[in-house]
Copies of this chain bind each other. A is one copy, B any other.
Amino acid sequence: MKPVKVGICGLGTVGGGTFNVLTNNAKDIARRAGRDIIIEQVAMRHPNPAVEIGSVKTTEDVADVISNPDIDIVVELIGGYTVAKDVVMGAIENGKHVVTANKALIAVYGSEIFAAAEAKGVSVMYEAAVAGGIPIIKAIREGLAANHINWLAGIINGTGNFILTEMRDKGRDFADVLAEAQALGYAEADPTFDVEGIDAAHKLTILASIAYGIPLQFEHCYTEGISKVAPEDVEYAEELGYRIKHLGISSRTEKGIDLRVHPTLIPEHRPIAKVDGVLNAVTVNGDAVGDTLYVGAGAGAGPTASAVVADIIDLARTLEAPASASVNHLAFDSESIDNLRVLPIEQVETAYYLRIQVQDRTGVLASIATTLSEHDINIEALIQKEPRMENDLAQIIILTHKVEEARMNAAIEAVESLDSTHGKITRIRVEHLD
């Protein structure tokens, strides 16, 4: 079969990695794809010192790539919403297939992009957008296609997982570890996307859509970062048999779809609780298969390129096939996408970890327990920690049973207004993932 020709837009970390994987593994890739895959042209603003560009044509203008009649597949590795969106839409308009690693673009503009692609009969592939080298999009869209997916939960931001792992292993605090992560290059100079959960929310939005066949609804994803997790919370969680992870969680409930990113206590015996450092992991529960877990590197040149090139190979194989031979963009037939409601966070039910600072005197514990009981909140475990700081405050740690968030908000407000309570209550959600 005739070679497939690829145009790469963006030669940064991921673009360079993709160039190198396609070049270094060209022989094996051709054996798998049944045809050669050739890099026809690269659009780049600066050379990448990790790449030997050789005789490949280069340009500074992405328009040259998307209008190049020799190119079958345009690979968008620029990032962001502006130029990247123009590249993707322009390539589709010119009848080219697209591969992208751009989670933000897919989470926010995916519906528009996929509609345009379907109208043109081309595919937009985005395995690299979620969990780097882990083939999680393929696992959910294809590998678990027989299942009614009940829920999924993922550690889908490596920077956040690195920070929480260091906090636990070394008792360090958030700001300290973040500074180190920035020095090591794990975290961006502006870490907001990572530590505030926005990056994870982009990825979770995509996973939920392909799991349930619902529209991409990034704007309805509840997002809470890890910057307020204190070392003592990590320590108390451990004492109770839990680990704190920054999880993206989505489940299908009778009331609607649950879609949220926040720090979460999970039982330490769950396999995903043991995924540490910069690794990513996603657990998916389907009605037939039960729980499955996928673990691997969530970022970096090689892992991300692995996913980008897998998409290119998939496209190469089906290039001459009818469009119906390709997997649906959001896993389900676009005409049957179900507009299920995303639950507002106030209606989500979870268990809670609460850390309450109190005056250390008799009757305090009783008044807190009474207040929670009045709000119909059941206590599963409680530990009281004697004062150990200069301020002479004791800490009460409570694990509750599941309760609707709105009710918990009211209960927290009531406990905070007790005379004996000092300051704000720390609240972290708890998931048992069963």
Interface residues of A (CB under 8 A from B): 1, 17, 21-22, 24-25, 28-34, 127, 133-135, 138-139, 141-148, 213, 271, 274-275, 286-297, 302-303, 305-310, 312-314, 317-318, 320-322, 324-328, 331-333, 336
Given the known interface contacts A292-B295, A306-B289, the answer about A324 and B34 at a Cβ–Cβ threshold of 8 Å is: yes
Docked-complex contact B310 and A145, CB < 8 angstroms:
yes
- Among A24, A135, A318, A333, the one with the most B-chain Cβ atoms within 10 Å of its Cβ is A135
CA distance A310 to B313 in the complex (A): 20
Known: A288-B25, A289-B133, A292-B294. A213 touches B31 (CB 8 A): yes
13 more contacts with CB within 8 A, not counting A25-B147, A317-B326, are A25-B148, A31-B336, A32-B333, A133-B289, A146-B310, A146-B313, A286-B306, A289-B303, A290-B296, A292-B294, A292-B295, A295-B295, A318-B325
Q: Is the CB of A310 within 8 A of B144?
A: yes
In the bound complex, residues from chain B placing their C-beta under 8 Å from that of A322 are: 320-321
Nearest chain B CB to A313 CB, angstrom units: 5
B325 touching A320, Cβ below 8 Å: yes
The reply to whether A287 and B313 form a contact with Cβ atoms under 8 Å apart is: no
Assess the A295–B271 pair: CB atoms within 8 A.
Answer: yes
CB-CB under 8 A from A288, the residues of chain B are 17, 21, 25, 133, 302-303, 305-306, 309
A-B contact pairs, 5 of them (CB 8 A): A30-B333, A135-B143, A145-B314, A147-B306, A318-B318
Q: CB < 8 Å: which of B34, B146, B290, B293 contacts A29?
A: B146
Residues of chain B within 8 A (CB-CB) of A317 are 324-327
The contact of A146 among B287, B292, B309, by CB within 8 Å, is B309
Give the docked Cα–Cα distance between A382 and B260 (Å). 50
A296's partner among B141, B291, B297 (CB-CB below 8 A) is B291
Q: Are B313 and A142 in contact (CB under 8 A)?
A: yes
Q: Specify which of B33, B271, B292 is in contact with A134 (CB 8 Å cutoff).
A: B292
A328 to B333, CA, bound (A): 26
Tell me the complex Cα distance, A295–B291, Å: 8
Do B313 and A145 have beta carbons less than 8 Å apart?
A: yes
Q: Which residues of B contact A286 (CB under 8 A)?
A: 133, 306
Chain B residue numbers with a CB within 8 Å of A308 are 146
Q: Are A292 and B31 in contact (CB under 8 A)?
A: no
Name the B residues within 8 Å of A287 (CB-CB): 24-25, 302
Interface centre among A28, A146, A297, A317 (most CB of B within 10 A): A146
A321–B17 Cα distance when bound, in Å, is: 32
Query: What residues on B are CB-neighbors of A31 within 8 Å?
Result: 213, 332-333, 336
User: Would you call B135 and A139 a contact (CB within 8 A)?
Assistant: yes
In the bound complex, what is the Cα–Cα distance between A138 and B326 (angstroms)?
15
Closest CB pairs A-B (n = 10): A135-B143, A146-B309, A321-B321, A133-B289, A292-B296, A289-B306, A321-B325, A293-B295, A288-B306, A288-B302
Closest CB in chain B relative to A425 CB, distance in Å: 34
> Distance (Å) between the CB of A333 and the closest chain B CB?
5
Residues in B whose Cβ lies below 8 Å from that of A333: 30-32, 34
Asked if A32 and B306 make an inter-chain contact with CB atoms under 8 angstroms apart, the answer reads no
Which of A289, A297, A309, A327 gathers the greatest number of chain B CB atoms within 10 Å?
A: A289
Check A302/B290 contact, CB under 8 A, given A25-B147, A32-B333, A135-B144: yes
Q: Which residues of B contact A135 (CB under 8 A)?
A: 138-139, 142-144, 292
| B-chain residues with CB within 8 Å of residue A275 when the two chains form the complex | 271
